[in-house]
């Protein structure tokens, strides 16, 4: 390469570098000028770069009222206000902000934000016995693609101080309290009446009135009485009610010298029933007539128990069968077998799904609460009898109130149902 060629080569390289340097410099200058045209971004006001349009500030809400939330356990303040006149579809209000502070002069922080159209908010984060100050802010804002463009607001005067306090009694449940006082008063009154020896009228329960007849028939025929206390254990109230009736039936059987047999499906029921029957024989003055085998265990299996009883019924053909307690799908199997041999059957259960089967196959059926009232009906013990009578009168009062309420509200005379509301 000659000297001249070398000079031309270096001149070309130099021109290329110079041109690229100039282009890079111009790019830097253009970027700097664009950056200078934008204000610096503050993370606390990100999205508020645009100036809001004129006449978009809403009028502040009116009539702000803050008070302790009534009938509660505390820690709640109820806030109500009248909507801004700009709060309407297409209006200037997009939301309301609730602000709270313990200092009237400063320190207000947002408690909540509710949509336009709201007129109430319950602050459930208020501490009891601490004075708070509140104010409401009507907000109008604009967003684009989820980014806040601008926001304006106006606020009410400060309301306070207000303290949250718990209440001892929920006045909304006053009707329940009054009803409980009336019912308890009736029960106590009739218990005292029964203790004083006054004869109380209790409506007849056909199934229980037929107990003497059923036991008498078995005695005349010289056949057994079967008492089935259901398939549940002693933790079921229906089993307890059935065992209570067993005491009365066993006492009659002992007086008439009729054999009563109690096959059970639970060991604890067997122990309890055995003691009940033994005590009944003692009350009847025939303790020596009791035999342990009168109360015996079959099996815990539901349909095994039903099959065992059916076999006993078909073989021994008892004159009377009692079904008293909690029954399930075995109810029709048991009662239909007893019906096929012509036995008098008296059933009682609190299971609504099994009542139709007992009604169809048995001579008498205790429906629902009649099973639980049986102990008072049969024993005539003053406390039980007074309780039953008081409850019956209470139900009668409720029934009359329902009828009167229907008539009054049907003719739009008086809203009696308002006095029977129960707040959960």
User: How much is the pLDDT for 51?
Assistant: 80
Which position has the higher pLDDT, 93 or 12?
93
Give residue 123's pLDDT.
Answer: 94
pLDDT level of residue 382 (50, 70, 90 thresholds): confident
Instruction: pLDDT band for 20, please (50, 70, 90 cuts).
Output: low
Between CA 376 and CA 211 the distance in angstroms is 14
Task: Give pLDDT, residue 267.
Answer: 93
Q: Would you say residue 310 has pLDDT above 70? A: yes
Give the pLDDT of residue 41: 37
Helix (H) or strand (E) holding 391: helix 382-410
- Per residue in 60-103, pLDDT (tens digit) is 999 999 999 988 888 999 999 999 999 998 889 999 999 999 99
Report the share of the chain in percent with pLDDT over 90.
Answer: 61
- Residue range 154-160: mean pLDDT, rounded: 92
Predicted confidence at residue 23, as pLDDT, reads 52
More confident residue, 36 or 349: 349
Candidate from 10-14, 226-230, 268-272 with smallest mean pLDDT: 10-14
What domains lie within the chain, and their CATH numbers?
Answer: 62-162 (2.60.40.10), 211-362 (3.40.50)
Please write the tens of the pLDDT for every residue from 257-290. Answer: 999 999 999 999 999 999 999 999 999 999 999 9
Question: What's the pLDDT band for 420 if we cut at 50, 70, 90?
Answer: confident
pLDDT of residue 15: 52
Check residue 42 and give its pLDDT: 37
Decide: residue 106, CB within 10 A, 0-12 exposed, 13-18 middle, 19+ buried: exposed
Q: How many Cβ atoms sit within 10 Å of the Cβ of residue 16?
A: 9
Residue 136 in this model has a pLDDT that exceeds 50: yes
Position 37 pLDDT exceeds 50: no
> How confident is the prediction for the chain on average, in pLDDT?
86
* pLDDT at 134 > cutoff 90: yes
The pLDDT score that the predictor gives to residue 396 is: 92
Residue 31 pLDDT more than 70?
Answer: no
Q: What's the whole-model pTM score?
A: 0.62
How close are the terminal C-alpha atoms of the chain, in Å?
A: 104
Identify whether 161 is preceded by a cis peptide bond (ω within 30 of 0): yes
Inter-axis angle of helices 330-340 and 302-316, nearest 10: 0
């Amino acid at each position: 390469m000659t000297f001249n060629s070398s000079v031309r080569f270096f001149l070309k390289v130099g021109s290329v570098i110079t041109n690229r340097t100039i282009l890079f410099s111009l790019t830097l200058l253009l970027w700097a000028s664009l950056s200078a045209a934008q204000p610096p971004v503050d993370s606390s006001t990100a999205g508020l770069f645009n100036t809001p349009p004129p006449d978009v500030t809403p009028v502040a809400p009116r009539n702000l009222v803050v008070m302790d939330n009534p009938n509660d356990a505390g820690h709640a303040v109820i806030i109500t206000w009248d909507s801004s006149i700009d709060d309407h579809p297409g209006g200037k209000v997009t939301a309301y902000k609730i602000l709270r502070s313990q200092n009237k002069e400063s320190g207000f922080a947002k408690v909540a934000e509710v949509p336009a159209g709201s007129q109430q908010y319950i602050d459930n984060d208020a501490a009891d016995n601490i004075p708070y100050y509140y104010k409401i802010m009507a907000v109008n804002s604009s967003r684009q693609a989820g980014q806040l463009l601008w926001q304006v607001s106006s606020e009410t005067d400060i309301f306070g101080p207000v303290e949250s306090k718990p209440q001892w009694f929920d006045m909304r449940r006053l009707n329940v309290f009054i009803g409980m006082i009336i019912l308890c008063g009736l029960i106590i009154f009739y218990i005292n009446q029964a203790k004083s020896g006054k004869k109380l009228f209790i409506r007849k329960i056909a199934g229980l009135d037929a107990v003497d007849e059923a036991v008498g028939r078995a005695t005349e025929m010289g056949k057994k009485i079967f008492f089935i206390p259901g398939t549940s254990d002693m933790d079921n109230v229906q089993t307890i009610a059935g065992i209570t009736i067993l005491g009365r039936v066993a006492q009659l059987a002992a007086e008439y010298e009729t054999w009563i047999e109690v096959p059970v499906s639970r060991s604890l029921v067997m122990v309890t029933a055995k003691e009940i029957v033994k005590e009944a024989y003692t009350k009847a003055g025939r303790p020596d007539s009791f035999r342990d085998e009168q109360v015996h265990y079959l099996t815990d299996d539901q349909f095994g128990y039903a099959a065992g009883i059916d076999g006993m019924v078909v073989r021994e053909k008892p004159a009377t069968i009692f079904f008293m307690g909690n029954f399930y799908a075995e109810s029709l199997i048991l009662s239909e077998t007893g019906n096929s041999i012509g036995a008098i059957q008296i059933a009682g259960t609190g299971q609504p799904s099994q009542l139709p089967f007992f009604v169809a196959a048995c001579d008498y059926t205790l429906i629902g609460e009649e099973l639980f009232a049986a102990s008072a009906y049969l024993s005539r013990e003053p406390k039980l009898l007074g309780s039953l009578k008081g409850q019956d009168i209470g139900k009668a009062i409720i029934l009359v109130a329902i009828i009167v309420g229907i008539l009054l509200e049907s003719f739009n005379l008086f809203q009696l149902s308002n006095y029977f509301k129960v707040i959960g």
